[in-house]
Amino acid sequence: MELFSGDYFLNFFMRYAHTLVGIAWIGLLYYFNLVQVPALASYGDEARARSITLDKVARRALWWFRWAAIATLGTGILITGQPTYWKNFFGAGSTAGIGHDAAISIGMIYAITMAANVWMIIWKHQRVVLANAVNVLGGGQPDPNAATAGRRALLASRQNMIFSASMLWFMVGSAHFYGTAYQTNTTDAVRYLIVAVVIGTILQLNALGKLGGITATNKLLWPYESHKNALISSGVLLVVLWLLSEFMLG
């Protein structure tokens, strides 16, 4: 049973599981942003139909979404928690593996932020939206807080979509690009990591409404106002981070 030996279990099976649950998580993220949200917006005055969709479809999708995020995070920690996983990020006198360690660190920080968004923002506020849908279907009055809760959940979800392409870039690139293409020094790698984290932090604060609020009048929220804007912003972030790596690590 070689698969369950220590080396194979962590280096192959956990990577397989990590990829599988990651597909489920990010696939549902794209479903929400590219399919469900635009579809619900097209319902118009069909408030009851929208509430049924939220209760019967979105509720199930959110269950798989949030637990897939936890599974992705957990399997990732098992992989990167191995003492031999990290190459030489804090080593001295050698450049081997520094590109790998810088890239995977950025990917992990973005992924952890995304998982935190799922549980601490998206699910927290979607519970209000789902409870309101059930209440309305039962003949109750709409919750006046539901719209704000839905808005906050949407902004966090769109931010996750913006992070996702860069997160995957660094996850895959740590082994297949940055690990061999960039034999840089530790100082440059740390500087690049700090810059990437600062950019991600600014974007995250913006999605939380800390840079001008969450209303549509806030021009800084342009990246989140449509799935098309989020796709463009995702691509821009990826290109910026790649170009910065060319200048800072090359």
In the prediction, which pLDDT does 184 show? 66
In the prediction, which pLDDT does 156 show? 98
DSSP state of 97: T
Residues 6+ apart with CB under 8 A from 131: 143
Number of domains comprising the chain: 1
Please enumerate, as own/partner, the contacts of 114-117 that have beta carbons within 8 Å and a separation of 24 or more: 114/69, 114/160, 114/163, 114/164, 114/167, 115/69, 115/70, 115/72, 115/73, 117/156, 117/157, 117/159, 117/160, 117/204, 117/207
Closest CA to 20 of 67, 66, 72, 60: 72
CA distances from 178 to 95, 96, 137 (A): 12, 11, 52
Return d(Cα 158, Cα 33) in angstroms, integer: 7
| 55, 137 contact by CB (below 8 A) | yes
Return d(Cα 79, Cα 12) in angstroms, integer: 9
CA dihedral of residues 220, 226, 227, 231 (deg, nearest 10): -40
Please state the φ and ψ torsions of residue 207, each to the nearest 5 degrees.
-65, -30
Return d(Cα 50, Cα 71) in angstroms, integer: 30
For 106, the domain range is: 2-249
pLDDT in tens, the chain (250 residues): 555 566 677 778 889 999 999 999 999 999 999 999 999 999 988 889 999 999 999 999 999 999 999 999 999 998 888 777 776 665 444 555 778 888 999 999 999 999 999 999 999 999 999 999 999 999 999 999 999 999 999 999 999 999 999 999 999 988 888 866 666 677 788 899 999 999 999 999 999 999 999 999 999 999 999 999 999 999 999 999 999 998 888 6
The dihedral through the CA atoms of 212, 218, 223, 224 has a sign that is positive
Question: pTM to 2 decimals?
Answer: 0.92
In the prediction, which pLDDT does 187 show? 79
